[in-house]
Amino acid sequence: MSFFFEVLIGGLLSGVMYALVAIGFVLIYKASGVFNFAQGAMVFFAALTCVGIMDKFGLSLWLAIPATMVAMIILGLAIERVVLRPLVNQPEIALFMATIGLAFFIEGLAQLLWGSQVHKLDLPIEDVPLQYLLDNFNIIVSQFDVIAAAICGVMVVVLALLFAKTKVGRALRAVADDHQAALAVGIPLQRIWAVLWAVAGLVAMVAGLLWGARNGVQFALTFIALKALPVLILGGFTSVPGAIVGGLIIGASEKLAEVYIGPLVGGGIEGWFPYVLALLFLLVRPEGLFGEKIIRRI
């Protein structure tokens, strides 16, 4: 039984990380209707930039992180300026395809700047089992995973507060509701989008550093976007709580399925199981768990 809980907790903790990537998607989708496929590439770019700065200039982690933050903000502003602004009022599908192109561009740029070898990233958090749980319940849970999940949790709370309490947050929600109306009452749409992409870049950085420390900074980080997609389908594209709950469900069920169903069918089902799960769920609720009800008019 302790093995079951070990798998479950491990799954939930990795689910928090999926949720963090998914929140990056939700932020942008909510306020601009762009389904940002480049989120995975941004995660990769952030992690590689941080490691690259440390390697090339010999800076410590605590200097490299602010430098990476600046880089992510510049990237976010550049994306808004170069890609999104000329595409205003295009159909959503065109914007989506533009972000696929953007993903390729960012991946190429990151490797061109910092090289394509696998890097190690050492965060000052040790990857050891939590002693308390090991002693009392005989469950091995990595301390790293718990702290990473806690950092993600803090991020989520900060973002929720940002949305709920600040002036920018209010503007963001107004833009999300109705672009035209927001413009009409004098909300600077383009500045809001720029803020949003910068914030999404920072979220990508946190995700990139945590995942990069776990699995090494390598090209595989871009596939995190593919992990976050079923989370979004499940949780709804417009809901931050949906992204969190979806992340937890996907994370836990993915690991449980891999451990308990995987051996029966030859293993490696982690790749598609979340998608099938999310798909089955969609057949029941087409707008996701917390998504807004879609009303279509002619």
Partner 1 sequence: MFYREAGQFKTSYEADGQILPIRQDRIALFVTLAVALLALPLVSSPYMLSAILIPFLIFALAALGLNILTGYAGQLSLGTAAFMAVGAFASYNFVARIPGIPVLLAFVLGGLCAAMVGIAFGLPSLRIRGFYLAASTLATQFFVVWCLTKIPWLTGHSSSGVITAQKMEILGYAFDTPERKYVLVLGVVAFMALLAKNMLRSNVGRSWMAVRDMDVAAEVIGFRLMRTKLLAFAVSSFYCGVAGALYAFAYLGTVEPEAYNLDLSFRILFMIIIGGVGSILGSFLGAAFIVLLPVFLNILAHGLALPTSVASNLELMTFGALIIFFLIVEPHGLARLWQIGKEKLRLWPFPH
Contact positions toward partner 1, by CB under 8 A? 35, 82-83, 86-87, 90, 92-94, 96-98, 100-109, 111-112, 115-116, 226, 229-230, 232-233, 237, 265-269, 271-272, 275-276, 278-279, 282-283, 286, 288, 296-298
Distance of closest approach, residue 278 Cβ to partner 1, in angstroms: 7
CB of 109 to partner 1, least distance (A): 6
Q: Residue 6 or 288: which CB sits closer to partner 1? A: 288
Task: Report how far apart, in Å, the C-alpha atoms of 30 and of each of 48, 90, 166 are.
Answer: 27, 17, 17
Q: Determine the distance from the C-alpha atom of residue 266 to the mean position of all C-alpha atoms in its chain, rounded to a whole number.
A: 29
CA distance 267 to 280: 21
* Minimum CB distance to partner 1, residue 80 (Å): 13
- Nearest distance, CB of residue 167 and partner 1, angstroms: 30
CA dihedral for 146, 148, 152, 157, sign (positive or negative) = positive
Residue number, 94 or 164, with CB nearest to partner 1: 94
Apex CA 43: angle with CA 199 and CA 125, to 5°?
95
Rounded least distance, CB 225 to partner 1, Å: 10
Is 26:39 a contact under the CB 8 Å cutoff? no
Between residues 78 and 158, which has the closer beta carbon with respect to partner 1?
78
CB of 176 to partner 1, least distance (A): 16
Instruction: Identify which of residues 112 and 185 has a Cβ nearer to partner 1 in the complex.
Output: 112
Helix (H, G, I), strand (E, B) or coil at 114: helix
How many CA atoms are closer than 13 Å to the CA of 58, on its beta-carbon side? Answer: 0
Of 8 and 269, CB closest to partner 1 = 269
Query: Minimum distance between the CB of residue 289 and partner 1, rounded to whole angstroms?
Result: 12
Nearer to partner 1, 154 or 279 (CB): 279
**Least Cβ distance, residue 14 to partner 1 (angstroms):** 18
Of residues 10 and 288, the one with the C-beta less far from partner 1: 288
CB-based contact 235:29 (threshold 8 Å)? no
Q: Of 202, 207, 214, which is closest to residue 145 (Cα–Cα)?
A: 214
Q: What angle do CA 189, 192, 195 make, to 5 degrees?
A: 155
At residue 217, φ and ψ (nearest 5 deg) are -85, 105
The separation between CA 152 and the C-alpha centre of its own chain, rounded to angstroms, equals 10
For residue 84, the 8-state DSSP code is I
Question: Degrees (nearest 5) of the Cα angle 219, 99, 269?
Answer: 50
Q: Which residue number, 167 or 297, has a Cβ lying nearer to partner 1?
A: 297
Task: Find the DSSP H helices in the chain.
Answer: 2-32, 39-57, 61-79, 92-114, 131-137, 143-165, 167-177, 179-184, 189-215, 224-235, 240-260, 262-265, 273-284
